[in-house]
């Protein structure tokens, strides 16, 4: 029966059309004649071995099956009885190679899981105090290496402890402003891969938290119940589950998917020969960028002393032979020298021999204008000084070649650098058309404006003032202290016309219009009311007495004490 079933399944898999199509490309993978016993995968090996007993020559067919299985590396599909010892070991190694060690995590989901005063879809509000307590408990739980804050595919799977639906855990929890965030690490499981695919494609975009130790509280100031922490209970964040229906309507969202990289990043290292290293010393001065425009627009600006100082410092370095490879600094000095030399050779006279033609060609290529030529002549001394420093930095022999043409000494300040003190800045700093004022003119101008101007005191005058002050202090200490004079208290008392305010005293109303009268007559409606008595004042004053009287009569009629009706502090 089993053989018949295997034969039926093999015939269903390998129809005649399938055999013909496979035979066109792989005729060598048929173990029997007439396109019988085709082998493509390990299942075909097992099926062919089981059905080989129906062949005319079973041994030959099975030998061919083993040969094809070895060639296609499908020996693990043979039954154990058909394998040699080596083949059994190879099959076991093949099965073992298919088992891999799972990754610690495949990706990280960054989610926002809670927010101050957030509203949930099931009609609840999470106030600030509740959010803070839940967050504090979650942080303590992660720090103490407690049970993990799990991630399930649904609340139902978590409540029913369906462990195959557990896809990750919370690895990090933090707060930013009024929102709370978490990094959820996904495990290397089939379900986790499915959830990762849904999150990556934005099919799944929300989550919901599971918390113990909270209850609902109603407050008339809110339209929905409040989620508060139960009295005497610490809240416990059990997990953050991936759900299509978020717990918080506008907050609980998957914000980012971070994948775990399996590539090993090699550290960056750079090696070089010590012989080819050039060390450049940078001085703590403001960086200056030198730009030479041959049209003279930049040359119109006076070259500051900082540029000359920078070139001077570069020139004092040890000059390398011109045959060596130039550094970036030397190349910059070379370019500056060529441009300046081209301008000066064009405006003054050629001073570089055969090189002058090349240098002047650089200037002609940029079309030196007449305005630029005039500006270059105006600042020729400064350009010559910059040329000398650039030449010294590059180790050239043309340093000072323009001194004779410009009437400049080789070293006017005798400091060994062939650069004299530039007084042009001092002259240009003074305002044109204004003469310097003398001391007498300045004093007269200050006095005209009302200022008092006195000559400074000499040292002898200041010393005399100090001695006079010390003598005055010494004399004051030697004089007898004045006696204190006091006056009698009566002499210090002043007469006052202040009169104290008249305060109400108990019973004062009996001294006025409501002086003792016939109270019974006043209470009798048949007796006319006195004209000199204000009814409202009488009612206000006599109402407590009348009420007390009525209460007393009522108490006597009932045989009780008045204290049962009126307290001691209310009795008149």
- Are 319 and 391 within 8 A, CB to CB? no
CA distances from 554 to 195, 359, 546 (A): 87, 133, 12
pLDDT tens-digit profile, the chain (572 residues): 445 545 555 666 788 888 888 899 888 999 888 888 899 888 888 888 888 888 888 888 889 999 998 888 888 888 877 776 555 556 555 555 556 788 889 999 999 989 999 888 778 899 999 999 999 999 998 887 789 999 999 989 999 999 999 999 999 999 999 999 999 999 999 999 999 999 888 888 888 889 999 998 888 888 889 999 998 889 999 999 988 876 676 666 666 666 655 444 344 334 444 444 444 445 444 444 444 444 444 443 444 444 555 555 544 444 444 444 456 677 888 888 888 888 888 888 888 887 877 887 777 766 677 777 788 788 888 888 888 888 888 888 888 888 888 877 655 555 555 555 555 555 554 555 556 788 888 888 888 888 888 888 888 888 889 989 888 888 777 766 666 666 555 555 566 677 776 666 666 666 666 665 666 677 777 878 777 777 777 777 777 777 777 888 888 888 888 777 776 655 55
**Nearest CA to 134 among 34, 228, 220?**
228
Encoded tokens for 383: 């350009």
Which pairing describes strands 207-212 and 236-242: parallel, antiparallel, or unpaired?
antiparallel
- Are 298 and 291 within 8 A, CB to CB? yes
pTM of the model: 0.33
**Nearest CA to 253 among 108, 105, 121, 114?**
114
What pLDDT was estimated at residue 279? 46
350: left (phi over 0), alpha (psi -120 to 50) or beta: beta
CB contact set of 383 (below 8 Å; sequence gap of 6+): 299, 303, 340, 343, 344, 376
What pLDDT was estimated at residue 304? 47
Cα-based angle 560, 563, 564 (whole degrees, multiple of 5): 60
Provide the residue ranges of all domains of the chain, joining segments of one domain with +: 2-97, 107-259, 290-422, 507-572
Tell me the CATH architecture of domain 107-259.
Answer: Alpha-Beta Barrel (3.20)
Rounded (10°) angle between helices 42-51 and 2-13: 130
Query: How far is the C-alpha of 50 from the C-alpha of 170, rounded, in Å?
Result: 52
What pLDDT was estimated at residue 294? 40
What pLDDT was estimated at residue 542? 73
Beta strands in 187-292 (DSSP E): 207-212, 214-217, 226-229, 236-242, 253-259
What pLDDT was estimated at residue 188? 92
- Are 74 and 87 within 8 A, CB to CB? no
Cα-based angle 106, 108, 113 (whole degrees, multiple of 5): 145
DSSP letter for 175, please.
E
Encoded tokens for 528: 């006319």
Q: Element (H or E) spanning 217, and its range?
A: strand 214-217
Residue 30: Cβ within 10 Å count: 19
**Nearest CA to 35 among 22, 47, 49, 44?**
22
- Are 381 and 420 within 8 A, CB to CB? no
- Are 290 and 308 within 8 A, CB to CB? no
What pLDDT was estimated at residue 153? 93
Chain centroid to Cα 503, Å, comes to: 71
CA distances from 12 to 8, 17, 200 (A): 6, 11, 40
Burial of 46 (0-12, 13-18, 19+ CB in 10 A): buried
What pLDDT was estimated at residue 176? 93
What pLDDT was estimated at residue 260? 59
Reduced to 3 states (helix: H, G, I; strand: E, B; else coil), residue 115 is strand
CB contact set of 119 (below 8 Å; sequence gap of 6+): 125, 224, 248, 249, 250
Side-chain half-sphere exposure of 195, counting CA atoms within 13 A: 29
- Are 509 and 541 within 8 A, CB to CB? yes
Burial of 110 (0-12, 13-18, 19+ CB in 10 A): middle
């Amino acid at each position: 029966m089993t053989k018949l079933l295997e034969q039926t399944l093999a015939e269903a898999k390998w129809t005649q059309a399938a055999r013909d199509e496979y035979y066109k490309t792989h005729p060598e993978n048929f173990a029997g004649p007439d396109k019988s016993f085709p082998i493509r995968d390990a299942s075909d090996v097992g099926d062919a071995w089981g059905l080989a007993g129906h062949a005319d020559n079973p041994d030959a067919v099975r030998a061919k099956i083993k040969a094809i299985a070895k060639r296609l590396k499908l020996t693990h599909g043979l039954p154990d009885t058909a394998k040699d010892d080596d083949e059994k070991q190879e099959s076991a190694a093949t099965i073992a190679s298919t088992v891999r060690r799972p990754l610690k995590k495949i990706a990280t989901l960054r989610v926002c899981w809670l927010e101050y005063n957030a509203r949930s879809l099931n009609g609840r509000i999470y106030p600030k105090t509740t959010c803070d307590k839940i967050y504090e408990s979650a942080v303590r739980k992660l720090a103490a290496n407690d049970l993990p804050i799990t991630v399930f595919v649904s609340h139902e799977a978590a409540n029913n402890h369906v462990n195959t639906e557990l896809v990750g855990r919370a690895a990090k929890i933090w707060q930013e402003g009024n929102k709370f965030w978490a990094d959820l690490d996904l495990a290397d499981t089939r379900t986790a891969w499915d959830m990762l695919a849904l999150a990556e494609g934005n099919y799944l975009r929300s989550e919901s938290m599971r918390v113990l130790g909270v209850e609902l509280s109603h407050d008339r100031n809110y339209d929905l119940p409040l989620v508060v922490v139960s009295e005497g209970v610490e809240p416990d964040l059990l997990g953050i589950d991936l759900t299509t229906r978020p717990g918080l309507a506008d907050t609980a969202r998957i914000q980012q998917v971070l994948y775990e990289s399996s590539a090993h990043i090699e550290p960056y290292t750079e090696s070089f020969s010590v012989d080819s290293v050039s060390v450049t010393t940078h001085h703590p001065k403001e960086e200056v960028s030198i730009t030479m425009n041959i049209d003279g627009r930049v040359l119109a600006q006076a070259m500051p002393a900082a540029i000359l100082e920078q070139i001077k410092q570069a020139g004092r370095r040890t000059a390398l032979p011109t045959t060596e490879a130039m550094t970036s600094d030397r190349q910059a000095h070379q370019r500056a020298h060529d441009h300046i030399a081209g301008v000066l050779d064009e405006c003054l006279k050629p001073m570089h021999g055969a090189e002058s033609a090349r240098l002047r060609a650089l200037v002609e290529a940029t079309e030196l204008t007449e305005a630029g030529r005039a500006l270059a002549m105006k600042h020729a001394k400064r350009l010559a000084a910059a040329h000398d420093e650039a030449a010294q930095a590059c180790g050239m022999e043309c340093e000072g070649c323009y001194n004779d043409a410009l009437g400049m000494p080789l070293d006017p300040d005798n400091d060994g650098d062939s650069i004299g003190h530039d007084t042009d800045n001092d002259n240009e700093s003074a305002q044109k058309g204004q003469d310097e004022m003398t001391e007498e003119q300045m004093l007269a101008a200050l006095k005209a404006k009302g200022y008092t101007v006195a000559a400074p005191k000499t040292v002898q005058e200041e010393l005399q003032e100090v001695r006079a002050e010390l003598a005055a202090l010494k004399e004051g200490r030697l004089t007898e202290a004045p006696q204190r004079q006091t006056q009698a208290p009566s002499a210090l008392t002043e007469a006052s016309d202040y009169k104290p305010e008249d305060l109400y005293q108990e019973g004062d109303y009996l001294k006025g219009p409501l002086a003792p009268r016939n109270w019974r007559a006043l209470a009798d409606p048949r007796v006319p009311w006195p004209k000199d008595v204000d009814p409202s004042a009488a009612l206000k004053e006599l109402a407590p007495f009348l009420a007390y009287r009525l209460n007393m009569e009522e108490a006597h009629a009932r045989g009780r004490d008045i204290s049962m009706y009126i307290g001691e502090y209310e009795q008149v």
